[in-house]
Amino acid sequence: MSTFLGMPAPPPRSPYGTGNLRGDRAFPRAAHDELGNEQLRRNLGRATGTIRAKRLSVTGELSDWEALRDAGSAIKTDTMNRLPELLEQLERKVTERGGTVHWARDATEANAIVARLVRATGSDEVIKVKSMATQEIGLNEHLESVGITPYETDLAELIVQLADDKPSHILVPAIHRNRDEIRQIFRDHIPGVDPDLDNAPAHLAAAARGYLREKFLTTKVAVSGANFAVAETGTLAVVESEGNGRMCLTLPDTLITVMGIEKVLPRYQDLEVFLQLLPRSSTGERMNPYTSLWTGVTPGDGPQDFHLVLLDNGRTAALADALGRAALNCIRCSACLNVCPVYERTGGHAYGSTYPGPIGAVLTPQLAGMHAAKDDPNSSLPYASSLCGACFDACPVKIDIPSLLVELRHQHTEQTGVTPEKLAMKAAAAVMRRPALYAAAQKASALGRVVAGRDGTISRLPPPLSGWSDSRDTAAPPRETFRSWFSSDEGRATLRAAAAERNSDHNEEDAT
Amino acid sequence: MSSARDTVLGRIRDALALAPTPAVVVPRDYRTGRALPDDERLALFTDRLLDYKARVHLCTADRTAEVIGEALREHGARRIGVPAGLDAHWLTGYDGEVREDHPDVSPAQLDTLDAVVTGSAAGCAETGTIFLDGSPGQGRRALSLVPDLHVCVVDLSTVAAGVPEAVARLAPERPTTLISGPSATSDIELERVEGVHGPRTLVAVIRTDA
């Protein structure tokens, strides 16, 4: 039943040139332009600050938050280990309950399946629940190219779609737009909208409600993603706030759900973990307003024709990487985006992928590769980080994003052959292996103080290190190396004083 | 050529063979099996519901009809939908038009209703969540979604302390909806707005002795 013929082969990445897993320029260039957008930085600063505070307050409420993270992380690891059997079980359960399961190797195949299923209903339009998977494969563009009109129904996705824009955040895709811009987008693109519409968020939301209500009530086909799928029971889950998800999932005759193969969970009970981790991590709420759980088809309630499309599109390539596979544990909560100092300043567009921010910088090269083209923009993503570690602390399933970024940087320098950075690292390794040379190099590096400015930083290094200094300031080397300080009179005296202090502390402890 | 199914499953098996990781045991040290006294569960549940901008009415079971009638009148609901199997006694305090739902009622017809009255399957105090599972008295999912006002009766005895205790009360095969307050969005500058596509008003009638 499998193509396993002796030696296992590394699975392919998402094919080059399809979907939305690659920007058209490297991160530093894209970020440079975004940094010039003051409005974007103001919006992002306020939004991420607010959401960070909310998240900390609601996660702090749970005395067992760390135990939930441990459980969530272990459930996902267990899932990846048993993925074939879990997917087969999911397929069996969904089929038993009257659903149909489809498998898609990549974006092109998934798009073709969805288009064929929509055509079979006779409809030339679909309503859509916000979904990262369909954004990743570029489903909307494909449906339009074959004459099917997709309507995004999440308010933020609607704003993005009407403006012919791209999402910039996993959770709040239109976070880069302010209320005045949104009012203008609605006035320009919603037929029959009140020309006196003001910029109050409540009024803008009401305008979207009025526009979409007719679509909800009359469209016969819906497309969604899934937050979770339970192998044990065949139950699918969509987590949302506005009710647009519930509308799409229950009012049409046909429902097509596109889901990455990594979203499966072993047991129904596992929902008790993720229904606590996800809302608190993503919006900082104790629970999102609406969650829909459905299992196949229920006679007399909801769509009577249900299709589940299981998507690979590079996920198996990520799975085959011993370290990188942890990125597949991601539950798309966006907590890492909201704590990231780099994302907060550049916004999501600079990453060029459906998945921005720290997790995007890891997941995107994993799914689509970073050497598929000359100067592949994805090869710049592992460097789009200060490695401060805030994303690791925030991740509800404990993905060690900083370590994965470092590993991807390593893979990048290995792959790209001779670069100034690789030469420098090689030279450093050779010097560090030889103590005498190392000591000499340390003395020489004190010369760096001469080229440093008054603030003690070097803003421009000579080639071959200029690539490094173009994007960051370098701290000047210290006046004295640790080794030379250690062997000086001052160093010895300090160490003696420290040892004496430590001994007297011990004596005090003994006395009490 | 092999099917996409066989190809994808083959790729997964190859990937696992190339990068095997040790089996893990899932630690479940988080809080489960909590049982709080009635007054504590009620206080917590009410506090969370109000935090989500739901309206909360407390009553004893014998005052159910009276409280539902008041809530519908207060919101000017003149035509309401109810699921088959709703306790007929619950509507004796209401004098408007009542339509009993069935699967052939179209979404457009649901849109002509001012309100819907349903029961519920369970609740979760810690998150202020109400669970509907389509059992008699709760109706199909569309019914509690399209009308603008949802009056939902919750028996305190079905309200669990936390999420694990509430999930344990669910029947996986039933289509289930978790509701925490009315419809809401924070998509415009992260400012929360109640009421987008789902019901703009949620009234929870909590029966403290049922």
Name the pLDDT band for A499 (thresholds 50, 70, 90).
Answer: confident
> Whole-angstrom Cα distance, residue A463 to residue A466?
5
Q: B10 falls in which pLDDT band (50, 70, 90)?
A: very high
Is a pLDDT exceeding 90 seen at residue A323? no
Does residue A262 sit at the B interface (CB-CB below 8 Å)?
Answer: no
* A182/B107 Cβ within 8 A: no
Among the partner-chain residues A84, A201, A218, the one whose CB lies closest to the CB of B13 is A84
Q: Which amino acid is at A7?
A: M
Report the C-alpha gap between A458 and A452 in whole angstroms: 5
Between B126 and A324, residue with greater pLDDT: B126
- Sheet strands (E) in A355-412: none
Query: Strand runs (DSSP E) across A416-484, as ranges?
Result: 457-458, 474-475
Distance CA B133, CA B145 (A): 13
Residue A295 has pLDDT above 80, yes or no: yes
Phi, psi dihedral angles at A237 (to 5 degrees): -135, 135
Rounded to an integer, what is the distance from CA B44 to the centroid of its chain?
Answer: 17
Half-sphere CA count of A325, side-chain side, radius 13 A: 23
Cβ(B83)–Cβ(B143) under 8 Å? yes
The average pLDDT across A213-235 equals 97
Distance from C-alpha of B122 to C-alpha of A184, rounded to nearest angstrom? 43
- What does each C-alpha distance from B34 to A70, A278, A396 come to in angstroms? 20, 21, 23
- Judge: B29–A67 Cβ closer than 8 Å, yes or no: yes
Which of A246, A311, A313 to mutate: most B Cβ within 10 Å? A246
Distance CA A485, CA B200 (A): 70
Q: Backbone dihedral region of A314: left (phi > 0), alpha (psi from -120 to 50 degrees) or beta? A: left
- Yes or no, beta carbons of A8 and B17 under 8 Å apart: yes
Residue A106 has pLDDT above 80, yes or no: yes
Token code pair at residue B48: 């969370």
Higher pLDDT, A474 or A350: A350
- Residue B56 touches partner A, C-beta closer than 8 Å: no
pLDDT of residue A354: 97
Q: Which of A197, A169, A171, A192 is nearest to A182 (CA)?
A: A197
Mean pLDDT value across residues B122-132: 98
pLDDT band at residue A397 under the 50/70/90 scheme: very high
Task: Characterise A270 by phi-psi region: left (phi > 0), alpha (psi -120 to 50), beta (else).
Answer: alpha
pLDDT (0 to 100) of residue A39: 86
CB contact under 8 A, A63 and B174: no
Strand, coil or helix: what is A56? helix
Q: Is the pLDDT of residue A303 over 70?
A: yes
Q: Where are the alpha helices (DSSP H) in A131-178?
A: 132-136, 139-145, 155-162
Residue-level pLDDT at A508: 45
Chains A, B: CB pairs < 8 Å:
281
What average pLDDT does the segment B81-95 reach? 96
Partner-chain contact B26 A78, CB within 8 Å:
yes
Interface of B with A in 170-189 (CB under 8 A): 170, 172-189
Using the 8-state DSSP alphabet, how is residue A24 labeled?
Answer: S
Interface of B with A in 66-85 (CB under 8 A): none
Determine what percent of chain A is predicted with pLDDT higher than 90. 74
Least confident segment among A64-68, A76-80, A471-475 = A471-475
Q: What is the mean pLDDT of residues B130-153?
A: 97
Cβ–Cβ of B198/A246 closer than 8 Å?
yes
A145 touches A27 (CB < 8 A): no
pLDDT exceeds cutoff 60 at A449: no
ipTM here: 0.97
Q: What is chain A's mean pLDDT, rounded? A: 90
Is residue A95 pLDDT above 50, yes or no? Answer: yes
A314 CB neighbour count, 10 Å cutoff: 27
Give the model confidence (pLDDT) of A327-383 as tens digits: 999 999 999 999 999 999 999 999 999 999 999 999 999 999 999 888 999 999 999
Instruction: Please tell me the predicted confidence (pLDDT) of residue A479.
Output: 65
Q: Which residue has the higher pLDDT, B103 or A7?
A: B103
Q: What's residue B191's pLDDT?
A: 86
Q: Encode pLDDT of A151-189 as tens digits.
A: 999 999 999 999 999 999 998 999 999 999 999 999 999
pLDDT tens readout for residues A423-442: 666 666 666 677 676 666 66
> Is residue B152 a contact partner of residue B122, using CB atoms and an 8 Å limit?
no
Neighboring chain A residues of B108 at a CB cutoff of 8 Å: 217-218
Greatest CA span in chain A, whole angstroms?
A: 88
Alpha helices in B55-116 (DSSP H): 64-74, 107-110
N-to-C CA span, chain B: 61
Under 8 Å between Cβ of A55 and A284: yes
CB burial of B21-57 (b: ≥16 within 10 Å; e: otherwise) equals eeeeebebebbbeeebeeeebbebbbebbeebbbbbb
- Min distance A261 CA to chain B CA atoms (Å): 9
Weakest-pLDDT range from A34-38, A225-229, A375-379, B176-180: A34-38
- For residue A114, the distance in angstroms to the closest alpha carbon of chain B comes to 15
Whether the pLDDT of residue A463 is over 90: the answer is: no
Model confidence at B80, pLDDT cuts 50, 70, 90, reads very high
Tell me the C-alpha distance between A351 and A364, whole Å: 9
Tell me which chain B residues have a C-beta less than 8 angstroms from the C-beta of A302: 140-142, 175
β-pairing, B201-207 with B193-194? unpaired
Question: CB contact, 8 Å: B6 with chain A?
Answer: yes
Which tokens sit at A484? 């030379």
pLDDT digits 0-9 by tens, A407-426 = 999 999 888 766 666 666 66
- Selecting from B24, B31, B107 the residue whose C-beta is nearest the C-beta of A77 gives B24
**Nearest-neighbour CA in chain A from B42: distance (Å):** 17
Whether the per-residue pLDDT at A266 is higher than 50: the answer is yes
Q: Residue A1 above 50 pLDDT?
A: no
What's residue A510's pLDDT?
41
Q: How many residues does chain B have?
A: 210
CB of B1 less than 8 A from some CB of A: no
Q: Are A292 and B141 in contact (CB under 8 A)?
A: yes
B182:A64 CB<8 A: no
- 8 A C-beta contact, residue A176 and residue A347: yes
Is residue B100 within 8 Å of residue B91, measured between CB atoms?
Answer: no
Q: Is the pLDDT of residue A137 over 60?
A: yes
Answer yes or no: pTM beyond 0.80: yes
Among all chains, which residue has been given the structure tokens 């969005």? Answer: B185
Distance (Å, whole) CA A317 – CA B170: 36
pLDDT digits (tens, 9 = 90+) for B19-35: 999 999 999 999 999 99
Q: Are A249 and A294 in contact (CB under 8 A)?
A: yes
Q: Which residue has the tokens 């996660």?
A: A59
CB count, 10 Å around CB of A356?
A: 29
3-state secondary structure (DSSP) of residue A67: helix
Q: Give the mean model confidence (pLDDT) for residues B122-128.
A: 98
Predicted pLDDT at A337: 97
Q: What is the CA radius of gyration of chain A?
A: 26
**E strands of B35-172, at which residues?**
55-59, 79-82, 97-100, 115-118, 122-124, 129-132, 149-155, 159-160
Cβ pair A301:B199 closer than 8 A: no
